[in-house]
């Protein structure tokens, strides 16, 4: 059996478990104890529980390999009840350089951000003047020094530090706006543009989910939302009751393949299928991170219990999309170290990439780069490729091509054209 990649989620780390998702189940056909052998040769005894859809007992393995959320396990069956486990740890940003604490010259005035919103920042200029006692003190950690420098200076020489300048609103650059806008966590109500429905209400959250995933939203009765996936033979309809009273409406369930009642995470509405508010907020977050469609979500509506555990499963799907995008970027960045019109060996690339990209992924990515619109590589015999252009020039040309196509795309209308989420039938 081929190896299977599994993306670790936060519940996995908390429980020391691994979820038996549909694509993972064939790897563990039997119930009971098993052995995981990590890439250090250490054996870990685990318990396969197919009834609960879990493999238990992975806490020590996660701890020993220092694994975190979105890190990847590659599972390879060796024998019945025995599996090889290889870990791929996501790369972390390089630590900032240590702060210089012994510079003899006076520090330059610095702009200190007091508060920030997506549209306006409040900053002020500070003129720290450290005393001899502050310079002789044991330096704190670099991050702490950067955050607390102004406070330490003010305490050391209160009579010499000038009063802070008045707060001045300074509009941030687009890049700063993107980096400062916090991304919501699971279970937290996300912030959206004020021109869209406010997601603080369930109606607004459903509207945001519909916009991101391609559903059409309307309200056929008071307290009843209808999500329609207009995908022809692949389409379906979901009725979402915002209150318990809506489940007694004559329109409840009429013409809908699936239904759900909005509840809290701890509420159990009897036999009714449910959609928890916390899971709805998490689904919006996941849809912002990577494209999700009604096709991806259909199985979850059918299961009838969309809670935070279900959202964690969607998170794994989103993580898989992001991992594929990351692997593609990893290959491009590695190719960028080669000059234009040079011959590149796939075996040599695999050595440079290490465990970050497996052989099958590398082959698929290289094949994609040989075709339009990339046309970056020309395949040669013996697993070699000709790099046709510098990667930076290639990306610049691709961006220009994409912008040209974007300008030619017409705005969809009600009478014709294609809409987000529509299926296209292509004929020769």
Q: Which domains does the chain have, with CATH numbers?
A: 4-88 (2.40.330.10), 202-316 (no CATH), 336-408 (1.10.10)
372 pLDDT band, cuts 50/70/90, is very high
Report the pLDDT value the prediction gives residue 413, as an integer from 0 to 100. 53
- Average pLDDT (326-342) is 91
Tell me the residue ranges of DSSP E strands in 57-127: 72-79, 82-88, 110-116, 121-126
Report the pLDDT value the prediction gives residue 53, as an integer from 0 to 100. 86
- Tens digit of pLDDT for each residue in 176-198? 433 343 433 433 333 333 334 33
Report the pLDDT value the prediction gives residue 424, as an integer from 0 to 100. 53
- Tens digit of pLDDT for each residue in 33-75? 999 998 788 899 999 998 888 899 998 898 888 888 878 888 8
Q: Which stretches of 290-416 are DSSP H helices?
A: 294-303, 308-335, 346-353, 359-369, 391-408
Q: Which letter does DSSP use for residue 137 in this model?
A: S
Q: Which letter does DSSP use for residue 1 in this model?
A: -
Report the pLDDT value the prediction gives residue 160, as an integer from 0 to 100. 41
- Tens digit of pLDDT for each residue in 414-424? 444 445 455 55
195 burial (CB, 10 Å; 0-12 / 13-18 / 19+) is exposed
Encoded tokens for 138? 């044991």
94 pLDDT band, cuts 50/70/90, is very low
% of residues, the chain, pLDDT over 90: 32
The answer to whether residue 235 scores a pLDDT higher than 90 is: yes
pTM over 0.85? The answer is no
CB 91 within 8 A of CB 71: no
Report the pLDDT value the prediction gives residue 343, as an integer from 0 to 100. 94
% of residues, the chain, pLDDT over 70: 70
CB 326 within 8 A of CB 334: no
317 pLDDT band, cuts 50/70/90, is confident
């Amino acid at each position: 059996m081929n190896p299977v990649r599994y993306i670790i989620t936060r519940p996995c780390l908390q429980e020391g478990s691994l979820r038996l998702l549909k694509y993972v189940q064939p790897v563990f056909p039997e119930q009971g104890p098993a052995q995981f052998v990590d890439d250090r040769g250490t054996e870990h005894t685990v318990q396969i529980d197919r009834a609960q859809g879990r493999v238990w007992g992975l806490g020590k393995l996660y701890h020993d390999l220092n694994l975190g959320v979105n890190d990847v396990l590659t599972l390879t069956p060796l024998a019945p009840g025995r599996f090889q486990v290889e870990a791929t740890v996501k790369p972390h940003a390089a630590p900032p350089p240590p702060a210089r604490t012994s510079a003899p010259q006076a520090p330059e005035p610095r702009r200190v951000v007091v508060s920030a919103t997506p549209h306006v920042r409040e900053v002020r200029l500070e003129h720290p003047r450290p005393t001899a006692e502050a310079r002789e003190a044991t330096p704190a950690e670099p991050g702490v020094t950067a955050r607390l420098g102004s406070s330490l200076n003010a305490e050391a020489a209160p009579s010499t530090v000038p009063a802070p300048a008045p707060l001045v609103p300074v509009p941030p650059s687009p890049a700063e706006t993107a980096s400062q806008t916090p991304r919501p966590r699971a279970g937290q109500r996300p912030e959206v543009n004020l021109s869209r429905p406010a997601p603080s209400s369930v109606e607004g959250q459903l509207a945001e989910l519909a916009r991101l995933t391609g559903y059409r939203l309307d309200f056929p009765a008071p307290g009843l939302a209808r999500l329609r996936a207009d995908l022809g033979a692949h389409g379906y309809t979901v009725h979402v009751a915002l209150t318990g009273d809506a489940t007694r409406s004559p329109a409840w369930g009429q013409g809908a393949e699936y239904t759900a009642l909005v509840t809290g995470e701890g509420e159990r509405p009897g036999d009714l299928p449910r959609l928890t508010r916390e899971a709805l907020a998490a689904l919006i977050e996941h849809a912002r991170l990577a494209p999700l469609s009604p096709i991806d979500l259909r199985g979850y509506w059918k299961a009838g219990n969309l809670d935070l555990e279900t959202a964690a499963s969607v998170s794994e799907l989103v993580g898989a999309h992001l991992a594929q995008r990351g692997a593609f970027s990893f290959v491009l960045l590695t190719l960028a170290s080669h000059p234009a019109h040079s011959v590149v060996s796939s075996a040599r690339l695999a050595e440079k990439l290490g465990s970050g990209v497996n052989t099958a992924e590398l082959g698929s990515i290289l094949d994609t780069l040989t075709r339009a619109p990339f046309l970056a590589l020309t395949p040669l015999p013996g697993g070699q490729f000709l790099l046709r252009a510098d990667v930076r020039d290639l990306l610049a040309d691709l961006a220009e091509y994409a912008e040209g196509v974007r300008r030619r795309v017409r705005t969809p209308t009600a009478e014709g054209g294609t809409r987000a989420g529509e299926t296209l039938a292509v004929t020769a």
